[in-house]
């Protein structure tokens, strides 16, 4: 803060006033003499306050530190900017040949090139002028040596005019970064090598920011974004700078138009070539870009995964169906065979049973015959008829097993009584079982 | 490319200042330490805080404002004050002519059709979403203007925004991909805009900031001490604002229209009222610039056109009660701060309504001659009141854009911002021509400590040994009653006589002036703090006295003769 000036004078020291070191503390500011309030955190002075408070600096300390920092800042800006050595060949340049001169190099800011700010250019110009002014050369005894000075002036003229500077930047090949060769790529880092190429190409972009190549960790979106941007690159690059000089005498209008047309065509051609060049760069880069391959593989893998899964599912379903069919066929075959065997066995058994039944029936009939129809002497035909009728009846009522059991019981028996007993029992059993009506029985009814 | 959700690095920031107002908003940026307000694509520097949707198309600003007449059902206006508030605590008065706020679970929402198609379902959007959409439009137009994506901003807020409202604003901005570097108070932004002018010198002063907006007026008393600002008192008023002036004009012209058209009152029809309001605002603006203004509306009501004119005098007469309201508001807040109008060094008029010449003139009448009224009507070099806050915000943004977010947080922490402010002035005693002791203030009251101030005081004419007496002091208002006139009877007679003449008004003015009591601010000497002696000062020499009040209220006094070696230095413990 500025110190204020007060015109009213201070009082004179009263007689007899004395104190140690001429200072006499009397009062003090008490806590009541202050209110806690909040200062608004706004404005440069607050920032200074905050800096002091946070770093616990006093006013004078802070002033000192700030002054130091400011001083350093100024130095930083000055140093290192324009200290490029001047090439002797360059100093010998003919100012008339300004189209072929490297304006940045002439001003000694070739390391900045298209990145040089207007301020840098102005300062570089000033510095060069101070060094190469023709008056100074004249003072050194070399009069009329203003060639390089003219180069400087021309360079400044071009670089400080935004339109002309763009035209020059368009054809400033020194700023180009050559695309890496295969050999370099084998050794070096793909992303670093190509990244710097595109960074340099990005200077022609009309739209900003220009997406960077990134690295192998970049997301698919970023990579696609990058290639989309570059394949649709909107460039301000022009090739007017390389135009042939148009004769400006009014003598020959046709010639003038001819040259103009030629220039326009040349520009168009160069622009097309430049676009083709950029396309090729991109093609080369994308061809070598591992990320794209990876993304494609991943995409393919994802797609294939689905397809394979589907195919596998289909295959499995087919296999399952075939297996099922086979199993069914097998089962059917087996069943058929079994049925056949069963059938045959059944046939045999049936025949056997039939035979057995026949045999047993014979036994049964034989037994009553053996017993002479349970009469002594010649049996009357009626008796025989009755007995045989019963036998027939019993035979018809019993099943083959019972028949077999009955036959077994009768087999071997010779005595008429025993045979009759067996029969009677059998009949009794059948009657009890309800298979035979008692009234039907004639001979064995006892 | 990089994740947009993370805050940009300090070096990559593109910063602007935003004033997000209830009626109008502004955006500003700095170029070479000078703040410039950005005009949006419509060419507006004051962008109405209005969003409107027509067939799914979003309009904002002046275009959206025009839709208040035709498309009021899908136009949201005056929503800033609802941000971060519960439904029950909002005042929906001003939303009468636009989409009405709704209660959705206690928070404020608006329902409107923001999608294309006749039968598209209307959406219910919370006020935070509306704010986000609006802020996004502001940021977009700033980005387009600057040619760079704007990443961060300093946003101004009223002094009575609570933490919830602040958080809601920051969240709404974040949703619009905007990093809020800092929220600063609107009045302080206005003070900063003035203090940042290259010709401004940093003085210790009391500033009254009258921020007269469209729907609210906020008056703030700020102690500006060495570039540090402390708010001493605030007042918020929702009655005396631009809308009240509009209403005066609306009523005036509506009556005029009724008189001419068989008593048709255009205020009864919503659309006619919207037209009236739109035109009244334009007329009000015109009256701030010229003494006459047209007021014409085609098909105001029932197909009848209306055209009329008004001059400034008439306007000032009918709006008198509103203007007086502004006066009372300013007076009350000065009283609240425990100050007198004589203590005020500067009055800054800010906000759109502050363009009105009468208001500035009225303030000029309240305050003494020594007070500077910074308004376009009274000070030709005044900054456009509508742009003050945005400029202040842009300046603050450029100051802090290099800081890490954490750094900003720490610097604005209460531990840094809350400091003791001394109650009494500290100064030295000097001698007036009549030989009386006069207090020369060095450190003014309400100065935040630590503080360092230096004055250079003349030594006695003949030089020699000089006493530097450091004392406390404070002001009081000395009221001098007017001298009763010696010939009272005569004056009375003269008055009666003059009352009969035609020019009585002139005379009575004079009379009043005579009878007015004289009020002065005088310093009263308080307790003595220290005495020091400077020996053998040269004839016509000067003494530099510097007082350093430390954070713990210890005082360091340094006194030395200008141009001489040595000096006296002493310390007072707290």
Distance CA B302, CA B306 (A): 11
Query: What domain range includes position B547?
Result: 425-483+518-573
Q: Is the pLDDT of residue A22 over 70?
A: yes
Distance CA B64, CA B75 (A): 7
Cβ–Cβ contact A36 with B under 8 A: yes
Predicted pLDDT at B137? 94
Query: Looking at B301, B320, B339, which one is the last position of a domain?
Result: B320
What CATH number is given to the structural domain containing B268?
Answer: 3.90.640.10
Query: For B90, phi and psi rounded to 5 degrees?
Result: -100, 160
In a mutational test of the B interface, the residue from A19, A21, A46, A52 whose CB has the highest number of chain B CBs within 10 Å is A46
User: Contact A27/B431, CB-based, under 8 Å?
Assistant: no
Kindly state whether residue B499 falls inside one of the protein's structural domains: no
Which contiguous run of DSSP H or E holds residue B464? strand B464-480
The reply to whether B208 and B226 lie within a common domain is yes
Residue A73 pLDDT level (bands cut at 50, 70, 90) = low
Contact B477, B519 (CB under 8 A): yes
Per-residue burial over A168-183, b if 16 or more Cβ lie within 10 Å, else e, is: bbbbbeebeeebbeee
Closest approach of chain A CAs to the CA of B184, in angstroms?
A: 7
Predicted pLDDT at B507? 44
Contact A259, A246 (CB under 8 A): yes
Q: What's the average model confidence in pLDDT over A385-413? A: 78
Predicted pLDDT at A288? 82
Predicted pLDDT at B563? 81
Comparing CA positions, the residue from B315, B208, B194 lying closest to residue B251 is B315
Cα–Cα separations (whole angstroms), residue B257 to A139, B261, B296, B304, B306: 87, 6, 11, 9, 7
Residues in B closer than 8 angstroms to A48, CB to CB, are 227
Domain count for chain B:
4
Kindly state whether residue B123 falls inside one of the protein's structural domains: yes
Residues in B closer than 8 angstroms to A21, CB to CB, are 568, 570
Kindly state whether residue B168 falls inside one of the protein's structural domains: yes
The reply to whether B246 and B206 lie within a common domain is no
Tell me the longest C-alpha to C-alpha distance in chain A. Answer: 196
Kindly state whether residue B530 falls inside one of the protein's structural domains: yes
Residue B510 pLDDT level (bands cut at 50, 70, 90) = very low
Kindly state whether residue B502 falls inside one of the protein's structural domains: no
Which contiguous run of DSSP H or E holds residue B59? strand B57-60
Per-residue burial over B478-493, b if 16 or more Cβ lie within 10 Å, else e, is: eeeeeeeeeeeeeeee
The reply to whether B209 and B181 lie within a common domain is no
Nearest CA in chain A to B528: A27
CA B300 to chain centre: 36
Kindly state whether residue B72 falls inside one of the protein's structural domains: yes
Query: Looking at B272, B304, B320, which one is the last position of a domain?
Result: B320
Predicted pLDDT at B220? 95
Write out pLDDT tens, residues B176-185.
999 999 999 9
The reply to whether B179 and B210 lie within a common domain is no
Predicted pLDDT at B212? 92
Kindly state whether residue B141 falls inside one of the protein's structural domains: yes
Closest approach of chain A CAs to the CA of B400, in angstroms?
A: 9
Task: State the average pLDDT for chain B.
Answer: 87
User: Contact B421/A10, CB-based, under 8 Å?
Assistant: no
Residue B154 pLDDT level (bands cut at 50, 70, 90) = very high
DSSP track, B128-181: HHHHHHHHHHHHHHHHHHHTS---EEEEEE-TT--HHHHHHHHHHHHHTT-EEE
pTM > 0.80: yes or no: no
Q: Is the pLDDT of residue B113 over 90?
A: no
Task: Select the residue of B188, B460, B461 nearest A40 (Cβ to Cβ).
Answer: B188
User: Contact A5/B446, CB-based, under 8 Å?
Assistant: no
- H-assigned helices in A188-246: 190-201, 220-231
User: Contact A4/B456, CB-based, under 8 Å?
Assistant: yes
The reply to whether B137 and B208 lie within a common domain is no
Task: Select the residue of A6, A14, A209 nearest B457 (Cβ to Cβ).
Answer: A6
User: Contact B456/A17, CB-based, under 8 Å?
Assistant: no
Contact B466, B452 (CB under 8 A): no
Residue A445 pLDDT level (bands cut at 50, 70, 90) = low
User: Contact A36/B430, CB-based, under 8 Å?
Assistant: no
Task: Select the residue of B192, B421, B431 nearest A43 (Cβ to Cβ).
Answer: B192
Q: What's the average model confidence in pLDDT over A45-55? A: 86
Q: Where are the beta strands (DSSP E) in A86-163?
A: none
The reply to whether B180 and B261 lie within a common domain is no
Residues in A closer than 8 angstroms to B468, CB to CB, are 10
Residue B486 pLDDT level (bands cut at 50, 70, 90) = low
Q: Is the pLDDT of residue B497 over 70?
A: no
Distance CA B514, CA B483 (A): 9
Write out pLDDT tens, residues A149-189.
888 888 998 898 888 888 888 888 887 888 888 888 887 78
What CATH number is given to the structural domain containing B338?
Answer: 3.30.420.40
Contacting A residues, span 188-217, partner chain B, CB-CB under 8 Å: 208-209, 211-212, 214
Q: What's the average model confidence in pLDDT over B252-265? A: 92
| Least trusted range by pLDDT, from A145-154, A358-367, B479-488 | B479-488
Predicted pLDDT at B318? 94
Q: What's the average model confidence in pLDDT over A205-229? A: 84
Cα–Cα separations (whole angstroms), residue A201 to A34, A271, B12: 64, 14, 22
Kindly state whether residue B164 falls inside one of the protein's structural domains: yes
Q: Is the pLDDT of residue A352 over 90?
A: no
Residues in B closer than 8 angstroms to A31, CB to CB, are 553, 574
Closest approach of chain A CAs to the CA of B456, in angstroms?
A: 5
Closest approach of chain B CAs to the CA of A272, in angstroms?
A: 28
The reply to whether B153 and B204 lie within a common domain is no
Write out pLDDT tens, residues A233-250.
888 888 888 888 877 767
Question: Which are the contacts of B120, defined by CB distance < 8 A and separation ≥ 6?
Answer: B56, B113
Residues in B closer than 8 angstroms to A211, CB to CB, are 1
Nearest CA in chain A to B570: A23
User: Contact B532/A17, CB-based, under 8 Å?
Assistant: no
Cα–Cα separations (whole angstroms), residue B337 to A40, B223, B349: 16, 10, 18
Task: Select the residue of B228, B423, B457 nearest A49 (Cβ to Cβ).
Answer: B228
Comparing CA positions, the residue from A380, A394, A382, A381 lying closest to residue A422 is A394
Residues in A closer than 8 angstroms to B527, CB to CB, are 27
Q: Is the pLDDT of residue B4 over 70?
A: no
Cβ–Cβ contact A250 with B under 8 A: no
Predicted pLDDT at B360? 93
User: Contact B460/A14, CB-based, under 8 Å?
Assistant: no
Residue A197 pLDDT level (bands cut at 50, 70, 90) = confident
Write out pLDDT tens, residues B359-394.
999 999 999 988 999 999 888 889 999 999 999 999
Q: Is the pLDDT of residue B504 over 50?
A: no
Percent of chain B having pLDDT more than 90?
48
Predicted pLDDT at A116? 85
Cβ–Cβ contact A33 with B under 8 A: yes
Q: Which residue has the higher pLDDT, B496 or A229?
A: A229
The reply to whether B443 and B567 lie within a common domain is yes
The reply to whether B28 and B108 lie within a common domain is yes
Predicted pLDDT at A6? 80
The reply to whether B141 and B234 lie within a common domain is no
Q: Pull the structure tokens for residue A35.
A: 């209110």
Distance CA B365, CA B384 (A): 21
Q: Which residue has the higher pLDDT, A288 or B283?
A: B283
Predicted pLDDT at A227? 87
Predicted pLDDT at A119? 84
The reply to whether B232 and B250 lie within a common domain is no
Nearest CA in chain A to B558: A23
Cβ–Cβ contact A140 with B under 8 A: no
Write out pLDDT tens, residues B448-474.
888 889 898 888 887 788 888 899 888
User: Contact A6/B414, CB-based, under 8 Å?
Assistant: no
| Least trusted range by pLDDT, from A207-211, A299-303, B21-25, B531-535 | A207-211
Q: How many CB atoms lie within 10 A of CB A77?
A: 12
Residue A358 pLDDT level (bands cut at 50, 70, 90) = confident
Q: Helices B320-336 and B242-260 meet at what angle, rounded to 10?
A: 170
Query: What long-range pairs does A269-275 form, CB within 8 A, spacing at least 24?
Result: A270/A239, A270/A242, A271/A237, A271/A238, A271/A239, A274/A235, A274/A237, A274/A239, A275/A235
Query: Looking at B297, B320, B343, which one is the last position of a domain?
Result: B320
The reply to whether B229 and B248 lie within a common domain is no
Comparing CA positions, the residue from B112, B104, B111, B110 lying closest to residue B88 is B104
Contact A211, A181 (CB under 8 A): no
What CATH number is given to the structural domain containing B522?
Answer: 2.60.34.10
Distance CA A410, CA A414 (A): 9
Write out pLDDT tens, residues B276-330.
999 999 999 999 999 999 999 999 988 899 999 999 999 999 999 999 999 999 9
User: Contact A222/B456, CB-based, under 8 Å?
Assistant: no
User: Contact A29/B549, CB-based, under 8 Å?
Assistant: yes
Predicted pLDDT at B64? 93
Closest approach of chain A CAs to the CA of B449, in angstroms?
A: 9
Q: Is the backbone peptide bond immediately before B511 cis, with ω within 30 degrees of 0?
A: no
Q: Is the pLDDT of residue B210 over 90?
A: yes
Per-residue burial over B64-97, b if 16 or more Cβ lie within 10 Å, else e, is: bbbbbbebbebbbbbbbbbbbbebeebeeebbeb
Q: What's the average model confidence in pLDDT over B526-550? A: 87
């Amino acid at each position: 803060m500025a110190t204020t000036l007060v015109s009213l004078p201070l009082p004179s020291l009263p007689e007899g006033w004395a104190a140690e070191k001429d200072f006499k503390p009397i009062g003090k500011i008490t806590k009541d003499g202050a209110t806690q309030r909040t200062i608004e955190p706004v404005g440069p002075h607050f920032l200074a306050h905050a800096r002091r408070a946070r770093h616990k600096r006093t006013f004078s300390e802070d002033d000192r530190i700030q002054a130091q920092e400011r001083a350093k800042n100024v130095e930083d800006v000055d140093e290192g900017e324009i200290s490029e050595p001047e090439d002797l060949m360059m100093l010998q340049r003919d100012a008339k040949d300004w189209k072929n001169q490297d304006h940045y190099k002439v001003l000694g800011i070739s390391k900045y090139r298209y990145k040089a700010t207007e301020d840098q250019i102005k300062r570089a110009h000033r510095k060069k002028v101070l060094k190469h002014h023709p008056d100074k050369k004249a003072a050194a005894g070399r009069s009329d040596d203003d060639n390089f000075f003219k180069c400087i002036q021309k360079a400044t003229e071009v670089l400080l005019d935004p339109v002309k500077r763009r035209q020059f930047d368009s054809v400033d090949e020194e700023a180009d970064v050559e695309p890496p060769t295969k050999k370099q790529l084998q050794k070096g880092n793909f992303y670093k090598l190509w990244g710097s190429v595109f960074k340099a190409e990005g200077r022609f972009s009309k739209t900003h920011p220009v997406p960077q190549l990134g690295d192998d960790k970049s997301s698919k979106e970023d990579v696609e974004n990058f290639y989309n941007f570059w394949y649709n690159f909107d460039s301000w690059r022009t090739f007017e700078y390389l135009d042939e000089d148009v004769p400006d005498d009014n003598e020959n209008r046709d010639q003038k138009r001819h040259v103009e047309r030629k220039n326009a065509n040349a520009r168009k051609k160069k622009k097309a070539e430049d676009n083709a060049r950029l396309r090729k760069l991109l093609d080369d880069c994308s061809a070598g870009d591992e990320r794209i391959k990876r993304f494609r593989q991943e995409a393919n893998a994802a797609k294939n995964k689905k397809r394979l899964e589907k195919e596998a599912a289909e295959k499995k379903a087919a296999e399952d169906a075939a297996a099922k069919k086979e199993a069914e066929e097998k089962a059917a075959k087996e069943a058929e065979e079994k049925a056949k065997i069963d059938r045959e066995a059944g046939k045999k058994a049936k025949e056997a049973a039939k035979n057995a039944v026949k045999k047993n029936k014979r036994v049964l009939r034989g037994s009553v015959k053996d017993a002479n129809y349970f009469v002594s002497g010649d049996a009357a035909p009626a008796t025989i008829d009755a007995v045989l009728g019963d036998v027939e009846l019993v035979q018809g009522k019993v099943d083959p097993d019972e028949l077999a059991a009955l036959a077994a019981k009768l087999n071997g028996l010779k005595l008429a009584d025993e045979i009759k007993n067996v029969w009677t029992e059998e009949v009794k059993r059948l009657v009890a079982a309800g298979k035979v009506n008692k009234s039907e029985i004639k001979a064995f009814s006892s | 490319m990089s994740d947009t959700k993370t805050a940009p690095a300090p070096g990559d920031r593109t910063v602007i200042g935003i004033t997000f107002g209830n009626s109008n908003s502004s955006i500003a940026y700095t170029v070479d330490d000078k703040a410039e307000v950005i005009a949006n694509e419509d060419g507006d520097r004051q962008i109405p805080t209005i969003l409107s949707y027509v067939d799914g198309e979003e309009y904002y600003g002046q275009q959206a404002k025009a839709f208040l007449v035709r498309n009021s059902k899908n136009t949201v206006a005056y929503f800033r004050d609802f941000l971060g508030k519960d439904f029950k605590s909002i005042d929906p008065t001003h939303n009468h002519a636009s989409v009405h706020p709704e209660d959705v679970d206690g928070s404020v929402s608006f329902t409107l059709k923001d999608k294309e198609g006749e039968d598209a379902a209307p959406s219910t959007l919370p006020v935070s979403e509306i704010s986000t959409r609006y802020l996004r439009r502001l940021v977009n137009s700033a980005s387009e203007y600057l040619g760079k994506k704007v990443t961060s901003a300093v946003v101004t807020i009223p002094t009575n925004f609570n933490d919830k409202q602040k958080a809601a604003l920051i969240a709404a901005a974040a949703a619009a991909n905007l990093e809020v570097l800092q929220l600063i108070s609107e009045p302080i932004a206005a003070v900063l805009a003035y203090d940042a002018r290259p010709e401004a010198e940093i003085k210790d002063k009391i500033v009254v900031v009258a921020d007269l907006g469209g729907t609210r007026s906020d008056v703030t008393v700020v102690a500006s001490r060495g570039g540090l600002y402390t708010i001493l008192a605030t007042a918020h008023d929702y009655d005396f604002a631009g809308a009240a002036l509009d209403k005066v004009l609306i009523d005036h012209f509506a009556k005029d229209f009724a008189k001419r058209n068989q008593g048709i009152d255009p205020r009864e029809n919503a659309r006619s009222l919207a037209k009236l309001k739109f035109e009244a605002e334009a007329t009000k603006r015109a009256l701030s610039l010229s003494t006459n203004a047209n007021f014409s509306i085609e098909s105001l009501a029932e197909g009848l056109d209306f055209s009329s004119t008004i001059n400034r005098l008439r306007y000032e007469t009918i709006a008198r009660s509103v203007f007086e309201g502004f006066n009372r508001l300013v007076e009350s807040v000065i009283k609240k701060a425990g100050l007198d109008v004589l203590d005020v060094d500067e009055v800054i008029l800010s906000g759109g309504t502050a363009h009105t010449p009468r208001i500035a003139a009225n303030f000029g009448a309240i305050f003494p001659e020594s007070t500077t009224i910074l308004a376009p009507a009274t000070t030709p070099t005044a900054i456009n009141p509508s742009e003050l806050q945005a400029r202040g915000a842009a300046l603050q943004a450029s100051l802090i854009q290099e800081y890490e977010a954490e750094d900003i947080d720490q610097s604005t922490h209460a531990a840094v911002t809350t400091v003791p402010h001394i109650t009494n002035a500290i100064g030295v005693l000097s001698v007036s021509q009549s030989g009386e002791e006069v207090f020369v203030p060095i450190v003014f009251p309400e100065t935040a400590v630590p503080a360092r101030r230096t004055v250079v005081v003349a030594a006695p004419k003949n030089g020699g040994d000089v006493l530097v007496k450091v004392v406390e002091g404070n002001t009081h208002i000395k009221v001098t009653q007017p001298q009763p006139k010696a010939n009272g009877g005569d004056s009375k007679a003269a008055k009666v006589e003059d009352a009969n003449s035609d020019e009585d008004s002139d005379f009575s003015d004079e009379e009043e002036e005579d009878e007015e009591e004289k009020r002065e601010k005088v310093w009263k000497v308080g307790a003595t703090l220290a005495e020091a002696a400077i020996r053998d000062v040269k004839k016509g020499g000067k003494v530099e006295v510097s007082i350093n009040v430390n954070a713990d209220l210890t005082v360091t006094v340094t006194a030395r003769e200008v141009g001489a070696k040595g000096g006296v230095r002493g310390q007072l413990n707290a």
